[in-house]
Amino acid sequence: MQTGTSFWRVNINQTLELLHSHRSDRSFTEQPIAEAELAAIVEAAYRGPTSINGQQVSLVVVRDPARRALLAEIAGGQPWIARAPLFITVLIDFAKTARAVAAAGEQQVIHESVEGFGVGAVDAGIALANLMLAARSLGLGVVPIGGIRKDAQAVIDLLELPQLTFPMCGVAIGHIDQPARQKPRLPLATFRHDETYRADALTPGVIADYDATISHYWQEIGRPEGLPWSRNLAGVYKLVYYRDTKPVAARQGFLNDK
């Protein structure tokens, strides 16, 4: 599966090792996360870049077991959210920027556009990546979660989120019980393009090979009910799976431009 790479000639450091070995560990002990570790993890997202230094991202840190249990349910029944001692929700937050724009005597409109929502989503992704890597550098396990958008309104109510904020994604963090295996990827040639895009990298044969690879992976980790890649994608992407995103975001004040 893996095409030839030559990065073995680089001195691999701890950071590259962590980045190259990313996996979601869905099995956690009940050991809590120390406050000092949590502070170091949050700082990693806090120091990340944001578009025009707008800082249109905020975090809500949830330790409370009852609130985690509700988030697990909202996300479609994801037990690792209830089990992990810590869940961090990453918000697109144009409430803060709106105050700054008002302080400067103008009225913010960026949040009404797809451009604004997209900027916030990219910045949320950066924050999420930094949270994951910081946690993993401390030996902790992580599961990134988009499922909170399944019922975004319930998350908004639970976390008391104001207008111009939206819960885009989150991450469960805990001490690893049973380590996970890394999931195989499509061939690198479908991901890396040089100078211009090559549309012919993902052939039906490559898809069939990868389906077989993923099916083999499911067998090996003891989840034989797992679907081949293309069938799983088809089931989710033949419809708008989290169909509340747009209307709930609109109720929060986003995406109302015509």
Binders of its own copies in range 143-182 (CB under 8 A): 144, 146, 149, 159-162, 165, 168-169, 182
70 binds its own copies (CB under 8 A): no
Of 25, 26, 28, 54, the one binding its own copies (CB under 8 A) is 54
221 binds its own copies (CB under 8 A): no
Q: Which is nearer to its own copies, 29 or 137 (CB)?
A: 137
Angle at 73 between CA 182 and CA 140, to 5 degrees: 35
User: Mask of contacts with its own copies, 234-253, x by CB under 8 A?
Assistant: xxxxxxxxxx-xx--x----
Strand 57-62, strand 86-93: pairing: antiparallel
Segment lying near its own copies (by CB under 8 A), choices 70-78, 172-180, 199-207: 199-207
| Residue 155, helix vs strand vs coil | helix
137 binds its own copies (CB under 8 A): yes
Angle between helix 35-46 and helix 114-137 axes, rounded to 10 deg: 140
128 binds its own copies (CB under 8 A): yes
Of 194, 222, 223, 225, the one binding its own copies (CB under 8 A) is 194
Q: Which is nearer to its own copies, 14 or 223 (CB)?
A: 14
Strand 141-145, strand 57-62: pairing: unpaired
117 binds its own copies (CB under 8 A): yes
Q: Which of 48, 69, 66 is nearest to 58 (CA)?
A: 48
| Whole-number Å distance between alpha carbons of 148 and 178 | 24
Q: Which is nearer to its own copies, 79 or 144 (CB)?
A: 144
CA atoms within 13 A on the CB side of 210: 20
187-202 b/e (C-beta count within 10 Å ≥ 16 → b): beebeeeeeeeeeeee
78 binds its own copies (CB under 8 A): no
Angle at 138 between CA 132 and CA 141, to 5 degrees: 50
**Rama region for 179: left / alpha / beta (φ>0; ψ in -120 to 50; rest):** beta
Q: How many CB atoms lie within 10 A of CB 105?
A: 6
Segment lying near its own copies (by CB under 8 A), choices 77-85, 100-108, 172-180: 100-108
User: Mask of contacts with its own copies, 5-44, x by CB under 8 A?
Assistant: xxxxxx-xxxxx-xxxxx-x---------xxxx-xx-xxx
Segment lying near its own copies (by CB under 8 A), choices 47-55, 72-80, 173-181: 47-55
Segment lying near its own copies (by CB under 8 A), choices 70-78, 112-120, 172-180: 112-120
Least CB distance to its own copies at residue 41 (A): 8
| Whole-number Å distance between alpha carbons of 100 and 94 | 10
